[in-house]
Structure 1
């Protein structure tokens, strides 16, 4: 588990985003740029699991790619152990030995013509890791829960179950002894019975190896079961952040409350259906970027609180990198009054690991 000061200040950040802004396009006449990540502060501590949650198009995958050095920001910076990322070929190669990516679809991540041994050994060969290759591969497979490891050496992906394929992908990351794994929807393609096993594996790797994990997900139920901290992202910004149990037991942002309310397992909450689709990221609304879909405005809660005009016209500051449970919302003290029903207590019946 990570060590944190009394004010929640990170003592051992592995990776940090500071005022990060990432954009695409916008070069053609009259074509505004897409602000996929628009002023984000985020950190992952040593031995900590952080969930980054939001709808498709929220910018969470772009943020993850930027933390990996696969996308360069036009403003702000990524820090690895407090030092700005080195975008040279040598610098990025060194980073990717320490920060590994696990993708959603294990079938697509594995070459069907290569054995399990070859898939896991690939990273060792690219990075020219010294030591006995066979022993290192066996160790990684064992850590990923494929035992006895030698029994899997000669198998091909089509001979494995979906859960076993995902464990092979995780072993391919573990073989390099990384500090941080960025897992993009790591269980989305798996059956419910296998999801719990993979989440339990990530928890055990955190506890036994001190591994840090950033889980990119649309599933708040997954975050509840695995994450120490939760950051909720909407239209390029973090709109709520804090310890997972605080955020999900008492959400302060209407977007978080709405996402939580529609979980089929979350009892005691009135489902909130957000109107419309997430806005075009090239045409971000003025003021609070959530206000066109905000149920507090539609239901009159903002008007009763006397701040409806500010919600539409006032831009909110970026949430701080560290600190207690916070939300980028003028209504954060009123969410329990009329958004998503009762906010007290934990969502019950969620996937347990």
Structure 2
């Protein structure tokens, strides 16, 4: 069943030139957002409209960079010709991502998402403004959780109704189920991921891989290629590339979580340190710091609450430890390895060039 706007599919595989790729990717994002807008308009639950969820859905579903849907469609193009149904199927991952973000913000008691108040805060404020009985805080958290549940269901519905054939979808479902479980397991592990317990770097990277890296790059690529009936050799090349770029993406995110401006991340600058998150950059800082710096940073991170001045000091200690440079080197190593995996002849020239550009996009300093 087709429910999106009538549009011509992208005319060809993405061009190799960086400027041409940027135009292609922007057009793909536009098509994905059009498909999502049409879908949300069709499934809109009237009873929820009065609760102000339309704006929240737009913030979480329509407001992103569409990385996951772009990777899924690129996976498709590595094994098949351009197809509007495949674009529509790929767009469904943005609904799955909205589910993950909504759940994550409730669990983290987040303040901002994409530069605006997080969903549970917006829904809580609407409850308070309407003078409804009961706790606005509890309502906001519960409503955001339920909205996330709806996005999870809608993502699968959008896949089923994308227009891709049943045989192709049958190749996708086992991988899609495995990805969703992997994401939930990563989120579950992240609940107890606290720097005050001094986890090892390998454990931190494992959580990040399951919760974010694989789900952002590797799994979407594999889903798209499997949907298109890609050969095992193609899936293996995409899997290796996706695993390494996913790790690099998360390492970049960890750096931005400590040093990135709110205007870049859309989240408070103190979010990772203030929440005592054991991210790669913090763990590496503790490993690399000299004895005096390690003692001070340990005392700082062990405080129950960190104010702005303490967080600023922690940021300076992490910078002095050499951790940012080590993380940058880890990112570069992973990108280099990922790009090497594309050169075994499994992929065409244009597909390789597009994946190279996506690797740069995902690991850029100002993502």
Q: What TM-score, normalized to structure 2?
A: 0.29
Q: What TM-score, normalized to structure 1?
A: 0.29
Higher strand share: 1
